[in-house]
Amino acid sequence: MTDLWDDARRHLIRYGGTFTPEIIAGAEGSYVITEDGRRILDFTSGQMSSILGHAHPDVVATVQRQVATLDHLFSGMLSRPVIDLARRLAESLPDPLERALLLTTGAESNEAALRLAKLVTGGHEVVSFARSWHGMTQGAAAATYSAGRKGYGPAPSGSFAIPVPNAYRPDIVDGDGDLDWRRQLDLAFDLIDAQSVGALAACLVEPILSSGGIIDLPPGYLAALRVKCDERGMLLILDEAQTGLCRTGTWYAFERDGVVPDILTLSKTLGAGLPLAAVITSAEIEERAHERGFLFFTTHVSDPLVAAVGNTVLDVAQREHLDERATHLGGLLRKGFDELALRYPVIGDVRGRGLLQGLELVADPVTKEPSDALGAAVTRRCFELGLHMNVVQMPGMGGTFRIAPPLTIAEADLDRGLAILDQALQDVTAGRPAV
């Protein structure tokens, strides 16, 4: 094992944060398994992706069958799994979203969506949240503000950020001291209008900011944002990498607000852990882009292997009513977190929807002073006890956990995870003065 870690240190490029201190040899269901045989409950679904758990038998069977018959093609060739998945995604979405481009990653799908928006509108300016994460390719990285902006040269011109409507840490408040998100949004677009050169192309946002700290947009916010976009001739792009396909209790998070985006991007959950992403838009936008020569050739565009997996993911989600399951299990998880919050004053806030929830630890519940140290300590103790938890890997946000178990997790495993978290909080906070 020592030699392996020596090889890792010598030969791997570090790409952010630190590596988990054990080598993972396998995974099944809601658990990952170390080389020493230790079973660790996975409360992140891999990289917030494996909504069916690890090694789901239907996915395994699909991969084995498809890789033996048709795995990869020239980018201009089509296959039945690709056409079927595009049709089925359209059937799962409201009008006018009906045309899909199948890619591999969330960054790639956001890149394609931004290119579509720029080509169709003729603009180049893009608005995103100040704590967003949309990917590490050029256009997606330019719309990412939570990290990664320093040291890489200038971002493309026309990259604008607006404040996050964080109800726990409100920056603009009403007479009761609560977040006044309507005034915040109005002021944000006053500033956008002052900076814009008249070439606004798109607003790219997550319905629930994940790397931003699991910030759920207030009810009504998306509708108001839609109006701001329409007034300026911008396209509204929703990035549902982590919220799509049932995780929040509805098939798509935007359904709660009754707002249909101009372009929707999916990734992580669509492939349930395999590299599959999609861009879905209207016939009108697709046709206009095609007329203007839209180009997005990639090596793995429209690959049949992962498209077949995507169809299997939809099969399982429909058969097992994963939207309803996420609502039910999410309610149990929230109840458990709320009970922990009553016992541990370091839990400042619990938020999220369905099986995408956030837990924010604070050094002081009155001042809401954040505590990266607490988050790191609880993360380590959870892992020692057999639970993988993930904090937001950004300075000042390391006390916020992103909790996203598989949608197939058993209730007993949810209970086990809550019990481990309880023990970890007890161990880490022992000796801290009561508030």
Return the HEC string of the chain: CHHHHHHHHHHCCCCCCCCCCCCEEEEEECEEEECCCCEEEECCHHHHCCCCCECCHHHHHHHHHHHCCCCCCCCCCCCHHHHHHHHHHHHCCCCCEEEEEEECCHHHHHHHHHHHHHHHHCCCEEEEECCCCCCCCHHHHHCCCCCCCCCCCCCCCCEEEECCCCCCCCCCECCCCCECHHHHHHHHHHHHHHHCCCCEEEEEECCEECCCCCEECCCCHHHHHHHHHHHHCCEEEEECCCCCCCCCCCCCHHHHHCCCCCEEEECHHHHCCCCCEEEEEEHHHHHHHHHCCCCCCCCCCCCHHHHHHHHHHHHHHHHCCHHHHHHHHHHHHHHHHHHHHHHCCCEEEEEEECCEEEEEEEEECCCCEECHHHHHHHHHHHHHHCEECEECCCCCCCCEEEECCCCCCCHHHHHHHHHHHHHHHHHHHCCCCCC
Q: Which of 125, 216, 239, 323 is catalytic?
A: 239
Q: Which of 108, 111, 125, 206 is catalytic?
A: 206
Is 206 known to be catalytic? Answer: yes
Is 133 known to be catalytic? Answer: yes
Q: Which of 131, 268, 325, 381 is catalytic?
A: 268
Q: Which of 118, 133, 216, 351 is catalytic?
A: 133
Is 239 known to be catalytic? Answer: yes
Q: Which of 118, 131, 232, 402 is catalytic?
A: 402
Is 242 known to be catalytic? Answer: yes
Q: Which of 242, 323, 349, 351 is catalytic?
A: 242
Is 268 known to be catalytic? Answer: yes
> Which residues are designated catalytic?
133, 206, 239, 242, 268, 402
